[in-house]
Chain A
């Protein structure tokens, strides 16, 4: 269990993390989402005691991580995959880390096999690709079988095989009752791996909810209709609280009416439908909607496409 209470980090005048509070529970994979510079890595560094909070605290199993009797066996973390000495072999890197909690060669060799680095275990880590570096980082996080695993961008640089592997691994770890906390920029990956989400923007928590609820709350959920009678259908459906847009002739994107209702209306008036689909928002759409105002550095294109209806939605939920 990870608990963050009113955690704050200031660098001079810049507030990197601003009074955030959240809990990461055991038994499920919790995703940590946020735009670049939102404060994800800073938060993780504070949990590990690498950066000192300006105020507030981060608790690992109810106490400060720095007082843990066996830190590596309590919380396994991957922060930077490239943070290994280029001249040292993967095996010696893991042996050195494992030595802090009395773990020796048998466990190290077992883990090198698990992460698929056994063949290159004795070669200098400087020659590793980013993906191999990630695998080594994941091996070091799992080395002492910690009951909390915290990974910053773990799928960065992994090939599709590796991504599938880490996804399965993280779910298995959570199913064993461990606490799994990971950050990722890759929305589709996060959508398939995490069950719970903590979303951070400009150093503040803007959502702390289940993945299902997060996506369900998105205004991007709508009904898509393809019909040769699109114009007639549009007039029939037009009502308060219903928003209808048309990306191309014959295609309507309808918000505020269920697919069943659209079908009924079409049948009543004898209108032909070629397609009637419930379009669910992806995590990416839901995330973009929510963080549109929280993105620190976004391009001008992104700003100009934001619509008034969706930003009011954001304000309501962020409040």
Chain B
């Protein structure tokens, strides 16, 4: 090997492109966020699920409110939701919304692992963490307004239905109501972020959904019911139980206080983001 003449390294001719970015291009966090935004908005499933989220929260909330007034009869004949707090009634849709939010979050996190696109994403942003941050930011940019609007619509429209029918209703300024409504929004958004992080962490839509829906949303409730009461002091720190303490109006004795529950839940979200970042940075892609 030696007969090769080497062209001087820096003799790089002007780019063949006429349109490439002028000057020295740089990869910055805002640009990575923009890249993630293009990815998120260019998938039809993003908009279908976002629409499904808004519709299910609002529709189930209004149906529940209508059922509670007695104007829509249930199979049992009597008024349903008797004894349920008006806030819980009008926000029934959040129970369905949480599943959609979970699926959305896990898909945003894990979808690139099933296609292999994640390797391209990391190759063009080899510092890696901006990719995760970009995903979280763009997901929040869609999720927060959708949750905000749908929860507020179902609360105000739902309570209006209850009030006009003359059954027990409530108002925004009633004790604990604003906190519960805002807490419900925060819980929905937080579960979405945890789902995104589980998707990155487990690199699989199926595994992410299994852990999130089975392990985080349902298992703690089941465990609270099955395990002796002495366990409650531990179980109340689980994400979904912590969520219960700041999403309902009436405090539940065995659960954490509003502030403590919120703080514990936020810690869970931070833990999820932290471990997903750590895994993304440390693993071979």
Q: B51 on the interface (CB 8 Å rule)?
A: no
| Chain A neighbourhood of B44, CB < 8 A | 87
Contact B117 A84 (CB under 8 A): yes
A159 contacts the other chain (Cβ, under 8 Å)?
no
B285 touches A51 (CB 8 A): yes
CA–CA, A47 and B32, complex, Å: 21
Q: Which of B7, B16, B126 contacts A66 (CB 8 A)?
A: B126
Whether A71 contacts B125 by the Cβ 8 Å rule is yes
Q: Is the CB of B18 within 8 A of A110?
A: yes
Asked whether any CB of chain B lies closer than 8 Å to the CB of A222, the reply is no
| B 108-131 binary contact with A (CB < 8 Å = 1; else 0) | 000110011101101111110000
With beta carbons under 8 angstroms apart, the residue of A50, A65, A145, A177 that contacts B17 is A145
Interface centre among B18, B19, B124 (most CB of A within 10 A): B124
Closest-by-CB residue of A relative to B44 is A87
Give the distance in Å from the alpha carbon of A245 to the alpha carbon of B95 in the complex. 82
Which of A92-100, A256-264, A272-280, A291-299 is the contact stretch? A92-100
* CB < 8 Å neighbour of B19 from A83, A101, A107, A176: A107
Q: Is B20 an interface residue (CB 8 A)?
A: yes
**Would you call B84 an interface residue if the criterion is a C-beta within 8 Å of the partner chain's C-beta atoms?**
no
Query: 1/0 contact trace for B42-63 toward A, CB 8 Å?
Result: 1111000000000000000000
Q: Tell me whether A48 is interfacial, beta carbon within 8 Å.
A: yes
Q: Which of B15, B25, B42 has the most CB of A within 10 A?
A: B25
Is B42 touching A96 in the complex (CB atoms < 8 A)? yes
- Stretch of B33-41, B206-214, B244-252, B258-266 at the chain-chain interface: B33-41
Is A154 interfacial (CB-CB < 8 Å)?
Answer: no
Complex Cα gap A209–B2 (Å) = 8
Would you give the 0/1 interface string for A75-87, flagging 1 where the beta carbon is closer than 8 Å to chain B? 0010110111111
Please state if A83 and B117 are interface contacts (CB–CB under 8 Å).
yes
Asked whether, in the complex, the Cβ of A69 is within 8 Å of the Cβ of B27, the reply is yes
Secondary structure of the B contact surface, majority rule? loop
**Surface stretch bound by B, among A21-29, A230-238, A308-316:** A21-29
Q: Are B124 and A72 in contact, CB atoms less than 8 angstroms apart?
A: yes
* Cross-chain contact A140 with B17 (CB below 8 angstroms): no
In the complex, are the beta carbons of A85 and B120 less than 8 A apart? no
Q: Which of B8, B31, B116, B123 makes the CB contact (< 8 A) with A48? A: B123
Q: With a CB–CB cut-off of 8 A, which chain A residues contact B119?
A: 45, 50, 79-80, 83
A26-B9, A147-B12, A177-B13 known; A213 and B21 CB under 8 Å?
no
Cα A102 to Cα B129 with chains together (Å): 19
B118 CB to closest chain A CB, in angstroms?
8
The answer to whether residues A144 and B20 also contact, given A50-B123, A71-B27, A99-B35 and a CB cut-off of 8 A, is: yes
**Chain B neighbourhood of A82, CB < 8 A:** 115-116
Contact flags B136-176 to A (C-beta < 8 A → 1, else 0): 00000000000000000000000000000000000000000
CB of A244, distance to nearest CB on chain B (Å)? 31
Taking A96-B39, A177-B12 as contacts, is the C-beta distance between A66 and B127 under 8 angstroms?
yes
Per the bound structure, the CA–CA distance linking A77 and B284 in Å amounts to: 17
| In-complex Cβ contact of A97 among B19, B26, B124, B126 (8 A) | B124
Please name all residues of chain A whose beta carbon is closer than 8 Å to the beta carbon of B19 when the two chains form the complex.
Answer: 103, 106-107, 110
Question: A134 an interface residue at 8 Å Cβ cutoff?
Answer: no
**Given known contacts A50-B284, A51-B285, A96-B42, is B9 in contact with A77 (CB within 8 Å)?**
no
Please report which residues of chain A, range 40-79, place their CB below 8 angstroms from some CB of chain B when the two chains form the complex. 45, 48-52, 65-66, 68-73, 77, 79
Residues of B within 8 Å of A101, CB to CB, are 21, 25-27, 31, 124
B226 at the interface (CB under 8 A from A): no
Does B225 have its Cβ within 8 Å of any Cβ on chain A?
no
A86/B115 in contact, CB under 8 A: yes
Q: Does A253 reach chain B (CB closer than 8 Å)?
A: no
With an 8 A cutoff between CB atoms, is A212 at the interface? yes
From residue A234, how far is it (CB to closest CB) to chain B in Å?
36
A145 near B7 with CB under 8 A, answer: no
Measured CB to CB, the residues of A under 8 A from B are 1, 25-28, 45, 48-52, 65-66, 68-73, 77, 79-80, 82-89, 92, 95-97, 99-103, 106-107, 110-111, 140, 144-145, 147, 176-178, 195-196, 208-210, 212-213
